[in-house]
Amino acid sequence: MFDYGSLSDDKLYALLQEGDSNAYTVIYHRYFDLLYLHASKKLKDYDEAKDLIQEIFVYLWNNRRKLNINTSLKSYLYVAVRNKVLDYISHQAVAYRYADSLQSFINKGHCITDYLIREKQLITIIDEEIALLPYKMRVIFELSRKQNLSHKEIAELLSISELTVKKQVANAIKILKSKLDDKSFLLFSVLIYSQHHR
């Protein structure tokens, strides 16, 4: 048994592609804090930065056999963080514009009843899709997004690891995004954002 911690990134990545979980663990601990600090400086949101980095590592593990990294592992991870941060900022900008225009629309008193009906219909669609998630995933997702529990709290409540919680939440969002149309998913994003910032 060799010392994984002394291995280069290239060797660790080669082992990762073979499904070596020990190599993955070393990569995770070698870069998580660095990437987290980098993302949190950009986002100014520590929880979101942590989730973002966790999503990158989940993706790295789930796609370990088909990833083709042409640069160094370190460069790949930092580029992945940059892209995730840009996607998040872009998405939030759209959500803010949607929420602002919606508030302006309501303040002007135009078609409020029609809007409320449409919103209720969209929420019904969203709830129906959440109900179709696999049982364990749905329970974890609802505890996270509806009960507003932290990943650590959910892990302790269900006697599972925080990594499992984060994977399930990330997979739930991915499934919902594929099932909902753009309008429904945008409303879902705005509602989730508002719940986390009350």
65 alpha-carbon distance from chain centroid: 22
CA 99 vs CA 18, 28, 139: distances in Å: 46, 36, 28
> Six-digit token pair at 170?
């990330």
In angstroms, what is the C-alpha Rg of the chain? Answer: 19
| Model pLDDT, residue 194 | 46
Average pLDDT over residues 95-103: 52
| Model pLDDT, residue 192 | 55
Residue type at 75 in one-letter notation: S
% of the chain surpassing 90 pLDDT: 27
pLDDT digits (tens, 9 = 90+) for 22-77: 999 999 999 999 999 988 888 888 888 898 999 999 999 999 988 888 889 999 99
| Model pLDDT, residue 48 | 85
**Mean per-residue pLDDT of the chain:** 79
| Model pLDDT, residue 42 | 83
1-90 and 111-198: identical CATH topology:
no
Closest CA to 32 of 45, 18, 51, 14: 51
DSSP secondary structure letters along the chain: ---GGGS-HHHHHHHHHTT-HHHHHHHHHHHHHHHHHHHHHHHS-HHHHHHHHHHHHHHHHHTTTT----S-HHHHHHHHHHHHHHHHHHHHHHHHHHHHHHHHHHHTTSSHHHHHHHHHHHHHHHHHHHHTS-HHHHHHHHHHHTS---HHHHHHHHT--HHHHHHHHHHHHHHHHHHS-HHHHHHHHHHHHHHHT-
Average pLDDT over residues 113-123: 66
Average pLDDT over residues 166-188: 75
pLDDT-derived band at 173 (thresholds 50, 70, 90) equals confident
* 111-198: CATH topology: Arc Repressor Mutant, subunit A (1.10.10)
- Beta carbons of 152 and 198 less than 8 angstroms apart: no
CATH architecture, domain 1-90? Orthogonal Bundle (1.10)
Where in the chain are the domains? 1-90, 111-198
| Model pLDDT, residue 12 | 93
| Model pLDDT, residue 33 | 93
